[in-house]
């Protein structure tokens, strides 16, 4: 399943970097999204968190054997949107997996080729969850997650100045970077962003193209970067 701001196209490269450090440690993802990177990480224990309740409801349900649909009609899409709490896992699936660009309720995904986005989303998420069967899945503010000392932490926060991931409220980037400084004292911390304060260094970067609307009028190139606190 795709996810707005997700890292599916660069997941292998980032996970390879993380795996260099994480094999015998606890891996913590504070903004796990659809788990493109998290599913490729090799670690003794995985803690996955996201503040989006419908996304987490979906991940937990699939971890416990939930059967996702392979077809969602336009009528079903808007029915689920109107009744989000009837089945929170389904709402998470439809709201992201069946929306254009995987943007939360970004419009029913359809094209002239007849692509079955629901089936694509289902198969993608099932593949990822094969490697996340034993992961601890949480839904909380990232600052509330208990991180064991000497963990490897990955953070993919809402990027400053871009479309938000969800309806979970405003995001303070100043608070975020201060917290990254704090947890970097006892852990190995990687942050996906485009820009960072001067006391953080670029560990890795790559240029990729993003598409933000169904008419493809809002495409742009961005340089994805992986930051660490300077030591």
Whether 34 is in a domain gets the answer yes
Q: Quote the pLDDT of residue 98.
A: 98
Side by side, the strands of the sheet bearing 188-193 are 136-138, 45-49, 26-29, 152-155, 188-193, 219-229, 200-211
Per the domain annotation, does 4 fall within a domain?
no
Helix-, strand-, coil-residue percentages of the chain, each rounded to 5? 30, 20, 45
Q: Along the 231 residues of the chain, how does pLDDT read in single tens digits?
A: 765 555 888 999 999 999 999 999 999 999 999 999 999 999 999 999 999 999 999 999 999 999 999 999 999 999 999 999 999 999 999 999 999 989 999 999 999 999 999 999 999 999 999 999 999 999 999 999 999 999 999 999 998 765 555 554 689 999 999 999 999 999 999 999 999 999 999 999 999 875 555 555 555 578 999 999 999
Question: Residue 103: inside a domain, yes or no?
Answer: yes
Domain that holds residue 26: 11-229
Give the model's pLDDT for residue 208. 83
Two tokens at 212?
Answer: 């933000």
Distance CA 104, CA 97 (A): 9
Q: Are 68 and 1 in contact (CB under 8 A)?
A: no
Which CATH number is 127's domain given? 3.40.50.150
State the pLDDT at residue 7: 81
- Per the CB < 8 A criterion, the answer to whether 145 and 30 are in contact is yes
pLDDT of residue 89: 98
**What is the pLDDT, as a whole number, of residue 222?**
81
Residue 6, in any domain of the structure: no
User: Is 5 within the bounds of a domain?
Assistant: no
Query: How many structural domains comprise the chain?
Result: 1
Q: Is residue 47 part of a domain?
A: yes
In a domain, 1, yes or no: no
pLDDT at residue 135, as a whole number = 98
Would you say residue 98 lies in a domain? yes
């Amino acid at each position: 399943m795709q996810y707005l701001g997700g890292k599916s196209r660069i997941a292998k490269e980032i996970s390879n970097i993380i795996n260099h450090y994480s094999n015998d440690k606890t891996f913590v993802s504070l903004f796990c999204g659809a788990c493109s990177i998290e599913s490729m990480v090799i670690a003794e224990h995985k803690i996955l968190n996201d503040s989006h309740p419908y996304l987490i409801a979906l991940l937990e349900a699939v971890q416990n054997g939930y059967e996702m649909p392979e077809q969602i009609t336009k009528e079903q899409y808007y029915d689920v949107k109107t009744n989000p709490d009837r089945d929170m896992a389904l709402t998470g699936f439809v709201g992201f997996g069946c929306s254009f660009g995987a943007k939360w309720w970004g419009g029913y995904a359809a094209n002239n080729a007849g692509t079955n986005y629901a089936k694509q989303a289902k198969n993608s998420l099932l593949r990822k969850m094969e490697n996340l069967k034993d992961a601890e899945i949480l839904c909380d503010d990232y600052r509330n997650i208990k991180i064991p000392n000497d963990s490897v932490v990955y953070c993919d926060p809402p990027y400053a100045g871009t479309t938000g991931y969800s309806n979970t409220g405003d995001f303070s980037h100043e608070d975020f970077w201060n917290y990254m400084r704090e947890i970097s004292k006892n852990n190995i911390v990687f942050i996906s962003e485009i820009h960072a304060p001067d006391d953080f260094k670029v560990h890795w970067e790559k240029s990729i193209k993003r598409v933000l609307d169904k008419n493809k009028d809002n495409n742009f190139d961005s340089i994805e970067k992986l930051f660490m606190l300077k030591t």
